[in-house]
Amino acid sequence: MRIHQYEKIWIAGAMILIVGFIVTITYGSVGLGITMIGDEEETIAPDELNDDEQFGEPRVEQVGENEYAAYVVAQTFIFQPDPIEIPANNEITFYVTSRDVIHGFYVPGTNINAMAIPGQVAELTVEFDEPGEHGLICHEYCGSGHHTMEGLIVVQSEDEFDLTELSAETPDTVAPGEQIQLNATVENGQLEPLETTVNAEIGDQTFQQDLTVDGKSTQNVTFTADSTQLGVGEHDWTVTVDDYEETGTVEVVSNETDEQAGGDES
């Protein structure tokens, strides 16, 4: 086959360019370790998501030192959880699936980009260097409300970040002379033990207790107040642990009146 000399040079140049592109991309994968979303994850049927250990309750979880997993479910037209709170300077592995149609999982301006396909789980590992807030959007058309589908990724500094959960409760009503028991539960989702102080107030009585919650466990604290001292009527209570606060009311009801007052707890 007769090929003009110039054209031969051109073809050779084109081939060098092509091979060069392939080499740079290979270097990106092997040398820099930019992995592609692959097929490592098990599949999961969308109608079994609610019963799934990981996606049943979409959340962020610590899985190792400086390593977190974020289980995200995309569905028309929201992301769960929202916001997704994660620590800076830690490896975050997102596991993303869809409950219904094909969605996207994209943080504009970054390389956090994946498809959420029903039945499949996309896995991608990222790290944020700086605390801050990033918009999360669905970038695959998913139906009439597609353009409203957004979430938020909140990156907190390492010191600030925790996976602490606080819940607290008292009886709604007590009779005068009975003890008021305030039960507070502190859950530590991180691997390291949590050393903290629980502060509580019931009416005008204050309590304080130091507490150490081991990694991935839960501790209960009970504070007891005397209802006689507080007197008949509604009393506010508050429990705080670090930045978390729970509040409610308890009513001391005299024996003569049988009124039920609605307590509040969450």
Partner 1 sequence: MTALFVDEYPAEARLVKAAFLSSFIAFGIGALFGIIQALHRTDIFRFIDSIKYYTVLTGHGVFLVIAFTIFFLVGLYQWAVTDSLERGPVDIRFTWFWYGLMAIGSFLAAISILAGFLEQPPMVLGAELRANVLFTFYAPLEANPLYYIGLALFLVGTWLAGIDWFRTWWAWRDENPGERIPLRTFMVLTTMMMFFLGSVGVIVSILVFILPWSLEITESLNPLLTRTLFWFFGHMIVYFWLLPAYLLWYSVLPKLSGGRLFSDPLARVVFILFVLLSTPVGIHHQYMDPGIAEGFKFIAMTNTMFLLLPSFLTAFTVVASMEHGARQRGGEGRFNWLQALPWRNPAFTGMALAGLVFAFGGFTGIVNAGMNINYLVHNALWIPGHIHAQVGTATALTLMAGSYWLVPQLTGNRLVGRQVALFQVVLWFVGIVFMTNSMFRAGLVGVPRRTAEPQYQGFEYDVPVGSMGELNAQLALGGTLLFISAMLFLVLMLLTVFNNDSEPIVDGTLPPALSGPEDSPQVLDNLRLWFGIAFALVVLAYALPLAGIVAQSGLFGQDIPPFPVSSEAVMYLEFGLDYVGALVT
Give, as ranges, the residues between 75 and 94 that touch partner 1 (CB under 8 A).
75-78, 80-81
Residue 146 touches partner 1, criterion: CB under 8 A: yes
Give, as ranges, the residues between 50 and 79 that touch partner 1 (CB under 8 A).
75-78
Q: At CA 111, angle to CA 110 and CA 116, rounded to 5?
A: 115
* Widest CA span in the chain: 112
Instruction: Judge contact between 35 and 29, C-beta under 8 A.
Output: yes
Phi, psi (degrees; rounded to nearest 5) at 171: -65, 155
Alpha-carbon distance of 35 to 187, in angstroms, equals: 34
Q: How far is the CB of 37 from partner 1 (least distance, A)?
A: 6
Q: How far is the CB of 116 from partner 1 (least distance, A)?
A: 8
CA 110, 92, 149, 157 dihedral sign is negative
Residue 264 touches partner 1, criterion: CB under 8 A: no
Q: Which is nearer to partner 1, 121 or 221 (CB)?
A: 121
Give, as ranges, the residues between 6 and 45 that touch partner 1 (CB under 8 A).
6-7, 10-11, 14-15, 17-18, 21-22, 24-25, 28-29, 32, 34-39, 41, 43-45
Q: How far is the CB of 150 from partner 1 (least distance, A)?
A: 5
Residue 127 touches partner 1, criterion: CB under 8 A: no
Residue 196 touches partner 1, criterion: CB under 8 A: no
Instruction: Judge contact between 98 and 117, C-beta under 8 A.
Output: yes
Give, as ranges, the residues between 148 and 167 that touch partner 1 (CB under 8 A).
148, 150-152
Q: How far is the CB of 178 from partner 1 (least distance, A)?
A: 33
Residue 247 touches partner 1, criterion: CB under 8 A: no
Q: How far is the CB of 128 from partner 1 (least distance, A)?
A: 14
DSSP-derived letter for residue 118 is B
The binder of partner 1 chosen from 134, 163, 168, 252 (CB under 8 A): 134
Residue 102 touches partner 1, criterion: CB under 8 A: yes
Alpha-carbon distance of 185 to 155, in angstroms, equals: 26
Q: Which residues contact 54 (CB under 8 A, 6 or more apart)?
A: 69, 71, 95
11 in helix, strand or coil? helix
For partner 1 (CB under 8 A), the number of binding residues is 78
Task: Of 202, 178, 204, 206, give the one whose Cα is nearest residue 250.
Answer: 202
